[in-house]
Amino acid sequence: MNLGLQGQAAVVVGGARGLGRAIATLFAAEGCRVGLWDISPQLASTAAALAAPAWRVDVTDEAAVRASATETWAHFGAVDHLVFAVGVGSGQFGFPFWNVELSRWEPVLRVNLIGAAAVAQAFAPLFAARRQGTLLFLSSVAGQIGSQTDPPYSAAKAGLINFVQCAAKDLAPFGVRVNCLCPGMVATELNRSVWQAWANRQSPETYQDYETWAAAKIAQVVPLKRWQTPEDIAAMAVFLASAQAANVTGQTINVDGGFVMHW
């Protein structure tokens, strides 16, 4: 896209696979120096493919997050763009919500919401002192519509949207922009896990394979009647990091084929 990002440094938390990898790949294609944080076994292979430095960081470990942020910033000299692309589900199908054991809530909140806050707290003072940069957090359309398929995930992503607004207000005086990006129906491992949790509760008469289930859901809830792709999400993520989006902060932007419309 040639968005003028050449030579800048972008760190993608959750960059080893899925949406994070797609975002890291596009940043690299734009000429950015890319760093990866993840705990996935795919971290080494993705880092090798992108010729990117990598840090094995668990976002629920506050001390590790702070230490790794300092080390990552020092490695690049400064970080221009930070993307939080981490997300986990409860592994249980809601509908109704009391079918989800309370013990499944805390791990989802710790990764999706508290983990995001931990990463933001570690990097925000560094961005503020430099008085420039962007932070982007991947939420979900589930955080806007009260998705019944996975209430802990939906609640955590809703909290993340609100946190991004708080962070954007705090960092605006320093010229640092913070936004939230909500994917719709993307064929990721997380999306498949939602189907699996549903499928585990079906009888032989109501069971559908993943492709059939997903096609029916897309036909029902996505006005454009098609999947969103990792590349769709990456294109918006990289655009939001560019000077073309210089007046965009505190926003929740959906790349969802029209799934969520507010009027």
Q: How far is CA 167 from CA 13, 39, 172, 249, 263, in A?
A: 17, 25, 8, 10, 25
Whole-angstrom distance, CA of residue 155 vs CA of residue 169: 22
3-class secondary-structure state, position 82: strand
Question: How far apart are the C-alpha atoms of 53 and 78, rounded to whole Å?
Answer: 14
Active site residue 153: yes
| CB proximity list for 39: less than 8 A, separation 6 or greater | 56, 57, 58
Contacts of 166 by beta carbon, 8 Å cutoff, 6+ apart: none
Nearest CA-CA partner of 254 in 191, 182, 187, 186: 182
The active-site residue, picked from 127, 153, 163, 198, is 153
Active site members: 153
